[in-house]
A = this chain, B = another copy of it.
Amino acid sequence: MTNVSYAALEKRFARLSALDDARGMLGWDQATMMPSGGATARSEQIAAIAAVCHGILTSSELEDCLAAAEVDTESLNPWQRANLDAMRRQWRHATAIDEDLVSALSRAASACEYAWRQARRAADFALVKDQLDTLLGLVRQKADSKGAALGLSPYDALLDSYEPGGRATDIEVVFADLATFLPSFMSAVIEQRKSRPAPLAIGDMVPAARQQALGERIMAQLGFNFHHGRLDVSEHPFSGGVPTDQRITTRYDESDPLTGFMAVLHETGHSLYEAGLPAEWRGQPVGVARSMSIHESQSLLMEMQVGCSRSFLTACTPMIAESLGVGGPAWKPENLYHLATRVAPGFIRVDADEVTYPAHVMLRFDLERAMIAGNLRVADLPGAWNEGMKRLLGIVPPSDQDGCLQDIHWYDGAFGYFPTYTLGAMTAAQLMAAARKTGPAIDLGISKGDLTPLLAWLQKNIHARASSLPIPDLVTAATGEPLHAKYFKDHLSARYLD
């Protein structure tokens, strides 16, 4: 006997998925193509789609359908059951807040993101303070409502929408483990490196067009299909679009072409995950990427585990030199490797090395929990930021442009997202270690610049599973054990301390 209500749900969620995809495309356009005067109209468009999606998700027809489908889960296979669970989860999140709040949030997020672009350019937090204050007020309303409905703390209710099942108390445990390891490790690395010569700096100015050509070349080599995607420029690199039309972006610094190259590797890691999701479940909740930490594990695996490795960089050096039209001692493989694995406290999270990156995340994790709890006012954010940077990394940004204005997330309404970066870094290290245990083919491939063996392993163990398993089960199925900090610490020790 078939479950008719379940079949009806699949149709409704396919439409929701198409509408959400439309919204994503408009977001991509906003960050890459839209003239600034289009901001108001765009926020209306995105808010209208958000409100429509919310209306569909919270309709009584959908609720009845869910209840009816859940009566007969025996007739469903495991993926269908996981899909039904994911639908119920979306419903719980959606019904926890009303449509007016959804519209207000969408509009406030668009307005704040727009103001942030001006504020960041002008290095003037005052230009976005009021918009962020309005947005934070609405986000806190959302967190309170969702927390009450889901039986979670307000912060966990936000975290849960990026990291299903993720809890701040669990994160605190693994972060505490890292926090005891990293400061002394960072000091030891910096101390040890004082005794050897610094890598040669890259003196060349490399035009953006050449960096774009290199980016497209490495993307193609890694398996990115330009029939199903494109690479553009935006202020903040991101991966958008849909699995069959991926829009990844980067930014180019003409004086630092290695950073643009690594950003492309990072976003390509995201996009290969999307491309590897099972086509037969496209448009269904079970068919999407598992979570933000798993997504970030794929991008960091590509950027940090592979991209910054001595063997991969050595394999890529001829292509890099040719595409960029450069040469000389600074472009020797060993020097590029030393440049790519420098360790130094810096102001900018996305430019941070693997060793100091977790401190950036821990700072944001602390600050956003305080903001959601009402213990930190928006007006006090720049000061708290600078104080935290001083404490964690020993440096204070010269202006808010390199401080609390650097990331889009909060200004776009994304609170509860930041910890997923460091969870992703730890997951990437654990996945890489597990993949290596399968034999020498993976490292052999990397040393030739050929990621086919590694991608086959990721495809089978992560991509193909989409959202069919809870996060801890997915990590255990792929690596044989739950997530812990050991592999990340081992990776750092092996790479950074001789």
Interfacial residues, chain A to chain B (CB-CB below 8 A)? 14-15, 18-19, 21-23, 25-26, 29, 33-38, 40-42, 44-49, 51-52, 225-230, 241-245, 283
Contact = CB atoms under 8 A, between A and B. Distances in A.
Contacts of A227: 35-37
B52 A245 contact: no
A245 B22 contact: no
A211 B22 CA distance: 32
Which 10 pairs, one residue from A and one from B, show the smallest C-beta to C-beta distance? A38-B245, A18-B48, A37-B228, A22-B45, A37-B227, A18-B44, A41-B242, A41-B244, A18-B45, A19-B48
Nearest to A19: B48
Q: Which among A37, A38, A51, A230 has the highest number of chain B CB atoms within 10 Å?
A: A38
Given A25-B29, A29-B25, A42-B245, A230 B19 contact: no
Contacts of A283: 44
Contacts of A226: 35
A48 B13 CA distance: 11
Contact of A229 (B15, B25, B35, B228): B35
21 contacts: A15-B48, A15-B52, A18-B44, A18-B48, A19-B48, A19-B52, A21-B44, A22-B23, A22-B26, A22-B46, A22-B48, A26-B26, A33-B33, A35-B227, A35-B245, A37-B227, A37-B244, A37-B245, A38-B244, A42-B245, A52-B52
Given A48-B18, A49-B19, A49-B22, A33 B244 contact: no
A29 B283 CA distance: 21
Nearest to A44: B18
A15 B51 contact: yes
A229 to B, nearest CB: 6
Interface of A is mostly: helix
A245 B22 CA distance: 18
A279 to B, nearest CB: 11
Contacts of A21: 41, 44-45
Contacts of A48: 15, 18-19, 22
A265 B241 CA distance: 33
A104 to B, nearest CB: 14
Contact of A245 (B34, B51, B228, B244): B34
A54 to B, nearest CB: 12
Nearest to A227: B37
Contact of A26 (B14, B25, B33, B51): B25
Given A19-B48, A37-B244, 7 more contacts: A19-B45, A21-B45, A25-B26, A25-B29, A35-B226, A35-B230, A35-B245
A40 B242 CA distance: 11
A228 B35 contact: yes
Contact of A242 (B25, B38, B52): B38
A29 B21 CA distance: 13
Contacts of A14: 44
Contacts of A15: 48, 51-52
A118 to B, nearest CB: 13
Contacts of A243: 41
A225 B19 CA distance: 31
Contacts of A35: 226-230, 245
Contacts of A18: 41, 44-45, 47-48
Nearest to A53: B52
Contact of A244 (B25, B40, B49): B40
Nearest to A24: B45
Contacts of A40: 244
Given A15-B51, A22-B49, A45-B21, A37 B242 contact: no
Contacts of A44: 14, 18, 21, 283
